[in-house]
Amino acid sequence: MLERISHLGYAVTDIEAAAAFYRTSFGVEPGESEPVEEQGILATMFRVGESSIELVQPTRPDSPVGKFIARRGQGFHHVAFEVRDLEASLAELKARGVDLIDSEPRIGAGGMRMAFVHPHEVFGVLTELVESRGTGTH
């Protein structure tokens, strides 16, 4: 079911400082950070192999990522795995009794179809599934 690691989400308090650090120290190329209003975040990504690292800064303390940082501090927030057919994957997981945050696909950043699995099912790791856009498009 899991084709590749699509991305890791890192929660940070200062996205410009984090992007500058990764650019300078590790030679990666984060893009301009962009607001995602409905999630209350600024986000940017950089590529590592077939995966990406997404840096996410909350723009409101009451946003999910804002609350996460207040509770746990900066750090790893979630992993996203690519699957070929998100609806089929969610149906399989539901049939096996796996508790899902999103029982149906929803549209995430960049227009991707995605859904979250409950972290208590996956041993404390907030886990997202994102649908592949087909060969050659990523």
Return the number of the residue (70 or 98) whose C-beta is nearest its own copies: 98
135 contacts its own copies (rule: CB under 8 A): no
Report yes or no: 44 and 21 within 8 Å, Cβ to Cβ: no
Pick from 100, 105, 121, 132: which binds its own copies (CB under 8 A)? 121
> Which ranges of 46-100 does DSSP label H, i.e. alpha helix?
64-72, 86-95
Return the number of the residue (3 or 37) whose C-beta is nearest its own copies: 3
* Smallest separation (angstroms) from its own copies to the CB of 39: 19
38: helix, coil or strand? Answer: helix
Residue listed under structure tokens 């227009």: 111
Applying CB under 8 A, the span of 29-37, 58-66, 67-75, 101-109 interacting with its own copies comes to: 67-75
Applying CB under 8 A, the span of 47-55, 60-68, 102-110, 130-138 interacting with its own copies comes to: 47-55
Q: Residue 137 contacts by C-beta under 8 Å, 6 or more apart in sequence?
A: none
116: helix, coil or strand? Answer: strand
CA dist., res. 20 & res. 25, Å (int): 8
Q: What is the residue-wise DSSP string for 16-31? A: HHHHHHHHHHH-----
- Binding letters toward its own copies, positions 70-109, x by CB under 8 A: --xxxxx--x-xx---------xx--x-x-----------
Using CB under 8 A as the criterion, which residues of the chain lie in contact with its own copies when the complex forms? 1-5, 8, 10-12, 18, 21, 24-28, 48-51, 72-76, 79, 81-82, 92-93, 96, 98, 119, 121-125
